[in-house]
Structure 1
Amino acid sequence: MTAQNIAARAFGYVDPNFPNPGGENDTSIIIYGYTPSIAIAAFAAAWFFLHLITHTAQTFKYRSWWWLTFSTGLVFEIIGYIARSLSAKKDPYHLIYFVLNYFFIVTAPVFLAAGAYTILSALIARLGNKYSFLRPTFILAFFITSDTISTIIQVAGASLVGVKESRHQDPTTANNILLAGLAYQVFAMSIFVLLMVTFELRARHAIKEHGLQVFCLSFSISTLMIYMRTIFRLIETAEGLGGKLSTHEVYFACLEFAPIALVALLFCIWHPGRCLGAKVRSTNEKHRT
């Protein structure tokens, strides 16, 4: 399929106010299905950069190295939104900008979710195994393994989407691989959400005694935001690149950017390193909210 023929796709969109530069890496349509908003993209890049600095600084301050996975996720968000900003301001037809935006923003929350898994393990270790159906070591092993599997599948799928698009070929198979990775992530996170809710209900008195009510509320909201965002991405990917969710930026802003931006803010205010301490399995940390 040539760059000219790609315009025949049903979801083909051409911005009448943004002439196609016709460069080597430009497709004949805007694959997003719209011209991305520079305001959203630039604000998101700045927002996540600010939180990368504050999160990483607090991680070093409290020596909570286990929280660096969250900073890794923020780096992915920044790269993705910088690419999106280039699409919005410089050239929305540019394939490489789209691929970088798609790859990094889709895979970033995998690292953010890994931080959430570690928080639950740390809470169980501090408050008592009796409140959890599973031991913290098993939770870490199972969900980190699930994250690794999900990441590999999503990276493979997102990369193949980019390869297929660069060659102007049908990306359906690649999209299905990405869909499988997201489906597995939703499955794993569904189990995690159930474990989190049951643990917090059973340990509610211990949480109060340790002064961790506000932190646990922040943790719960953040986990649900990541979960909601993952479900959104699953449905969007199932629809395909030309679906309603992927071709209307309001859904992206409200169901991709906003939830993750809130997660970054909540964990910045109630940083896990400050509230739980330096070590995941430590039982003698001073708890503060």
Structure 2
Amino acid sequence: MSSEPPVRGWIDPNFPNPMGPGDATIIIYGYTPSIVVAILGIVLFALAGVLHIWQLFKYRSWYFSTMIVGIAFEIVGYVFRALSAKVDPYRVTYFVVQYFFIVVAPVFFAAAIYTILSLLINATGRHHAPLPPKAILWIFITCDVVATVVQILGAALIGIAESNRKDPTTPNNILLAGLAFQAFTFLLFIILLAAFIARARKVMFEVVTKWFYLAFIAAVVLFYLRVCFRLAETAEGLYGELNTHEVYFGCLEFMPVVVAVWLLAIWHPGRCVPRGTSVMRSDV
């Protein structure tokens, strides 16, 4: 009798495994990725990228260039997801590359979010902020980089474990640790943002319109929703409900990020947020 464990996971009966040197015995996604979702991702992020690039140069808002990098990462990620959908869903390389780019992209989006808060602090008065703008950037960007490196390591080890038919529990726990740390630090950022808004509420609309604030807050919540989804998905394990049904990916990973990116394209900080300290109040 063979000592190898039985194959566990999704095998598409309509897509025979090519059994190439780079193919896992199962589809690591937990399902066969939809080509529709992949194409929508490529198109919507590409269009948003054009709009962001145009405003980046028009308003010379170079500080917001991390959004462009994040969008480029999303496009690459969905291109490889499309390859998984139509060429070979069992290919470990396709899975790891799409996971890498789709997971890393929000780090650049988060950096842009932190930059916006720094601009708002400078525009309304630094005395409204619990932390200096530069400290916000350094602390939270560093935390995001650490969390993302741990996630990438965990995802890569999951791919290796599945391709070798090994137990992926330990790699999944590594991935879970990275996501938990990211969720915790982003929650701290949301608390910091709420504290700033509470302190600056008397002057905030003198500098920036309420629509920009609403769009910014919505984008922050959507990005956090995405982090929470990834955390819950990983906590369930590789064969959990969230990990084996693409509808959750579409609604809780794809859609929140797309909407957030478009919100920040429509209410672009280069157009909506003034540079420097525009409001000084002696009564605060």
1:9-28 paired onto structure 2 within 5 Å:
9=8, 12-28=9-25
Note the C-alpha offset of 1:142.
Answer: 1.4
Aligned length: 277
Asked if the contact 1:107/1:154 (under 8 Å) is kept, the reply is no
Match of residue 266 from structure 1: 263
Note the C-alpha offset of 1:135.
Answer: 2.0
Structure 1 residue identity aligned to 2:80: A
Note the C-alpha offset of 1:57.
Answer: 2.4
TM-score (norm 2): 0.90
1:45-194 paired onto structure 2 within 5 Å:
45-194=42-191
Structure 2 residue identity aligned to 1:84: R
Structure 2 residue identity aligned to 1:161: I
Describe the shift of the 1:223–1:27 C-alpha distance in structure 2 as closer, same or farther (beyond 3 A). same
Asked if the contact 1:80/1:100 (under 8 Å) is kept, the reply is yes
Note the C-alpha offset of 1:6.
Answer: 7.2
CA distance in structure 1 between the aligned counterparts of 2:56 and 2:178, rounded to whole angstroms: 29
CA distance in structure 2 between the aligned counterparts of 1:156 and 1:24, rounded to whole angstroms: 21
CA distance in structure 2 between the aligned counterparts of 1:60 and 1:167, rounded to whole angstroms: 48
CA distance in structure 1 between the aligned counterparts of 2:240 and 2:234, rounded to whole angstroms: 8
Describe the shift of the 1:28–1:6 C-alpha distance in structure 2 as closer, same or farther (beyond 3 A). farther
Match of residue 8 from structure 1: 7
Asked if the contact 1:6/1:27 (under 8 Å) is kept, the reply is no
Note the C-alpha offset of 1:40.
Answer: 0.9
Note the C-alpha offset of 1:199.
Answer: 1.6
Does 2:282 correspond to 1:283?
Answer: no
Asked if the contact 1:6/1:28 (under 8 Å) is kept, the reply is no
Q: SS of the residue aligned with 1:264?
A: helix
Note the C-alpha offset of 1:122.
Answer: 0.9
Note the C-alpha offset of 1:64.
Answer: 1.4
Structure 1: stretches of 5+ with no match in the other structure: none
Q: SS of the residue aligned with 1:246?
A: helix
Cα root mean square deviation, aligned: 2.0
Asked if the contact 1:7/1:29 (under 8 Å) is kept, the reply is no
CA distance in structure 2 between the aligned counterparts of 1:231 and 1:53, rounded to whole angstroms: 29
Asked if the contact 1:218/1:270 (under 8 Å) is kept, the reply is yes
Structure 2: stretches of 5+ with no match in the other structure: 280-284
Asked if the contact 2:114/2:140 (under 8 Å) is kept, the reply is yes
Per-residue CA deviations over 1:180-218 (Å, capped at 9, x if unaligned) read 111111111111111112222332231221242111111
CA distance in structure 2 between the aligned counterparts of 1:7 and 1:276, rounded to whole angstroms: 58
- Percent identical residues: 52
Note the C-alpha offset of 1:156.
Answer: 2.5
Structure 2 residue identity aligned to 1:29: I
Q: SS of the residue aligned with 1:189?
A: helix
CA distance in structure 2 between the aligned counterparts of 1:48 and 1:99, rounded to whole angstroms: 20
TM-score (norm 1): 0.89
Asked if the contact 2:125/2:277 (under 8 Å) is kept, the reply is no
CA distance in structure 1 between the aligned counterparts of 2:162 and 2:57, rounded to whole angstroms: 41
Asked if the contact 2:84/2:91 (under 8 Å) is kept, the reply is yes
Note the C-alpha offset of 1:88.
Answer: 1.0
Describe the shift of the 1:97–1:56 C-alpha distance in structure 2 as closer, same or farther (beyond 3 A). same
CA distance in structure 1 between the aligned counterparts of 2:7 and 2:225, rounded to whole angstroms: 33
Per-residue CA deviations over 1:70-129 (Å, capped at 9, x if unaligned) read 211111111111111111112212221111122221222121111111111110111012
Out of 244, 247, 254, the residue aligned to residue 247 of structure 1 is 244
